[in-house]
């Protein structure tokens, strides 16, 4: 049972991560696990099957407990047998449940779960689970992970590959792990048996903003390429051409928009006067009207749903949404095409022919010599802006019997800028003034997404609480926002503010903070506890400009020292100057590289300490 399956189950059933034993000090370990994967040719089905036998023994370390056990299957995978043993005895009272996998009562057509609760009676006892499965199409058998949600003390993974079947096992993230390998030729089977012995593989960590497991966890990437049989050769994914040919076979019967889709496309764009207006109308209508219901890791099916069905239901996964976007645009005469892509959650690219490369589908628009990518699942992002998760990623664009392989453009931090301009005066111990804020790119997308989860009559109140950071001393009036439905323009707000008790008075001196937000001031990595690199959600830039009017009769006696930190990954720059009658403060925090490696955490912490020291210093004004 892989971690992603357990995590998906935990989320779907509302079970806490703590109860699922995802922490380092887990009460459970896997004392022994044996996994056997046999590639077999089925003459009856005229294809290769993968037979699996998976035995996992869980051991209770301290206190009696029970754990959730789950296994996914789909229309290409069957669960043939399940056995459970508690403290050495067969647990006939445990009845596995089989159900559709659903989210918010929306059921996927080919994703199912088998699940049950497994007890561990007391300290030192063991419980065992046995699954027997069959994958009917080897294209869908892509990975074997060695780690789990618990510490794995001992594990054996054995793969039997007949000489007539071409299979490559790519060993991923083995470095620093206790993994040994042995290959034996079995003459009676005319097959190689490749066996891995694994010891003491740490439990997977559920760390915020971590790379996907394909970057960090030891596993096999399984590539089934062909099968040579007396009946002839079967080609699976020997090359990328083979992979695309299979993809194309699943989509070539999607012939184009029907009359219902055409009529809707014309209705959506009836007020548009230019091609670009029409394209944007379609793209933004998808944002506002079609609900995205799938998870990033996707499901086994790779064939998009018919566009008219997505339109009728008003929801779909990425494939269905990409298909409807394509058909809307085609109905209006544009050259729109489906695209296969893997988000940055996945470590692989199309140099490795495998469906493990893909977990997403978008739409490409070829217009006036340029290619635009439209990801209908990214709500509220502007046309020709791209989310971090697909920037720079390998993408296949349908092109009849061929394909176009390219990459999604990469944006720098200037796509995602948030700015705040503040003009303030001191009134006793309060600060009063006016504020203007603006957000672009994924900064804007995040805010609008959050606001749209709230009832409209309460969204302004929620927005003001966000801006005040729930500080009861920070009041907002005259609050005005830009049009939240105009995705081409930045999101902007303006308001009057009063920050009560923001000024401290001691004798003839006034003390005041010019920076209310103090971004990243407490963003320190635990060098002992953090296991993985840190991936920011996206590259970004935060700008703050504050103008403080110096009260009559006062002079500036102390200003915080400026901060200048610049490297290839990020910048922290603050300046503060005095001009006649006012103080000007500016701050710029730039995340240039969304991926911060663990080796740079120590330097990051030192740089954040400089920023924090600056935040802790106040402006001091003294009576003349």
> DSSP character for 437?
E
Query: According to the CATH classification, is domain 241-410 in 3.40.50.1100?
Result: no
Residue with tokens 């009359």, as numbered in its chain: 259
For the chain, give every residue range classified as CATH 2.60.40.3140.
3-235
CATH 3.40.50.300 fits 414-623, yes or no: no
Helical spans, DSSP H, in 234-369: 240-251, 259-268, 275-289, 307-313, 318-331
Residue 599 has what DSSP assignment? G
Q: What are the CB-based long-range contacts (under 8 Å, 24+) for 225-229? A: 225/166, 225/167, 225/168, 226/165, 226/166, 227/41, 227/47, 227/48, 227/164, 227/165, 227/166, 228/164, 228/165, 228/166, 229/41, 229/43, 229/164
Q: Pick from 444, 438, 477: which is nearest to 461 by CA?
A: 477
The secondary structure of residue 410, as a DSSP letter, is P
pLDDT of residue 19: 31
Could you identify the residue written with the tokens 């022994």? 32
Instruction: Centre a 10 Å sphere on the Cβ of residue 400 and count the other Cβ atoms it contains.
Output: 8
Q: Closest Cα partner for 50 from 196, 181, 171, 162? A: 162
CATH 2.60.120.1130 domain range(s) in the chain: 414-623
pLDDT at residue 3, as a whole number: 31
Query: What residue ranges of the chain are covered by domains with CATH 3.10.620.30?
Result: 241-410
Contact between 125 and 200 (Cβ < 8 Å): no
pLDDT lower than 50: segments of the chain: 1-23, 25, 296-299
Q: How many residues does the chain have?
A: 624
* Right CATH for 3-235 from 1.10.287.110, 2.60.40.3140, 3.40.50.300, 3.40.190.120: 2.60.40.3140
CB neighbours of residue 85 within 10 Å: 17
Strand partners, 221: 143, 170
**Backbone torsions φ then ψ of 396, nearest 5 degrees:** -105, 125
Using a cut of 0.85, tell me whether the model's pTM lies above it: yes
């Amino acid at each position: 049972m892989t971690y992603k399956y357990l995590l998906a189950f935990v989320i779907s059933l509302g079970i806490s991560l703590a109860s699922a034993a995802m922490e380092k000090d887990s009460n459970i370990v896997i004392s022994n696990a044996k996994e056997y994967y046999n590639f077999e040719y089925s003459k009856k089905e005229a294809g290769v099957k993968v037979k699996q036998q998976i035995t996992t023994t869980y051991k209770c370390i301290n206190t009696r407990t029970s754990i959730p056990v789950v296994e996914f299957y789909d229309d290409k995978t069957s669960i043939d047998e399940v056995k459970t043993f508690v403290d050495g005895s067969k647990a006939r009272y445990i009845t596995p449940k089989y159900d559709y996998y659903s989210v918010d009562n929306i059921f996927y057509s080919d994703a199912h779960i088998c699940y049950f609760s497994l007890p561990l009676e007391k300290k030192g006892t063991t419980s065992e689970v046995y699954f027997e499965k069959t994958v009917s199409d080897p294209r869908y058998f892509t990975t074997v992970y060695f780690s789990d949600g618990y510490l794995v003390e001992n594990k054996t993974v054995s793969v039997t590959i007949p000489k007539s079947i071409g299979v490559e096992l790519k060993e991923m993230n083995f470095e620093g792990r206790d993994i040994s390998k042995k290959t034996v030729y079995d003459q009676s089977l005319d097959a190689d048996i490749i066996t891995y012995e694994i010891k003491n593989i740490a439990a997977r960590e559920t760390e915020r903003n971590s790379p996907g497991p394909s970057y960090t966890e030891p596993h096999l990437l399984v590539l089934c390429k062909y099968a040579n049989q007396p009946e002839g050769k079967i080609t699976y994914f020997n090359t990328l051409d083979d992979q695309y040919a299979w993809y194309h076979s699943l989509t070539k019967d999607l012939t184009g928009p029907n009359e219902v889709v055409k009529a809707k496309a014309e209705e959506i764009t009836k007020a548009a006067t230019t091609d670009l207006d029409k394209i944007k109308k379609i793209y933004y209508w998808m944002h506002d009207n079609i609900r995205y219901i799938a998870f990033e890791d996707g499901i086994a099916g790779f064939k998009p749903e018919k566009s008219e069905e997505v339109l009728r239901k008003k929801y779909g996964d990425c494939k269905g949404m990409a298909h409807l976007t394509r058909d809307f645009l085609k109905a209006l005469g544009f050259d729109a095409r489906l695209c296969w892509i893997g988000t940055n959650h996945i470590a692989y690219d199309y140099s490795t022919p495998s469906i493990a490369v893909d977990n997403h589908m978008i739409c490409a628009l070829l217009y006036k010599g340029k290619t635009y990518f439209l990801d209908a699942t990214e709500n509220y992002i502007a046309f020709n802006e791209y989310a971090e998760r697909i920037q720079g990623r390998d993408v296949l664009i349908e092109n009849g019997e061929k394909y176009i392989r390219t990459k999604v453009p990469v944006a720098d931090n200037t796509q995602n800028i948030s700015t705040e301009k503040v003009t303030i005066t001191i009134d006793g111990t309060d600060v009063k003034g006016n504020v203007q804020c603006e957000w672009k790119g994924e900064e804007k997308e995040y805010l609008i997404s959050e606001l749209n989860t709230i009832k409209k009559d309460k969204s302004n109140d929620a927005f003001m609480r966000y801006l005040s950071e729930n500080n009861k001393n920070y009041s907002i009036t005259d609050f005005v926002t830009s049009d939240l439905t105009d995705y081409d323009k930045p999101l902007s707000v303006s308001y009057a503010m009063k920050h009560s008790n923001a000024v401290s008075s001691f004798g003839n001196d006034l003390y005041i903070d010019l920076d209310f937000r103090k971004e990243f001031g407490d963003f320190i990595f635990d060098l002992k506890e953090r296991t993985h690199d840190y991936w920011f959600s996206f590259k970004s830039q935060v700008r703050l400009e504050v103008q403080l009017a110096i009260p009559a009769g006062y002079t500036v006696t102390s200003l915080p020292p400026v901060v200048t930190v610049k490297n290839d990954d990020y910048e922290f720059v603050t300046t503060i100057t005095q001009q006649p009658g006012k103080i000007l403060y500016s701050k710029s925090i730039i995340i240039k590289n969304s991926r911060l490696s663990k080796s740079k955490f120590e330097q990051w912490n030192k740089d954040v300490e400089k920023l924090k020291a600056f935040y802790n210093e106040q402006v001091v004004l003294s009576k003349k």
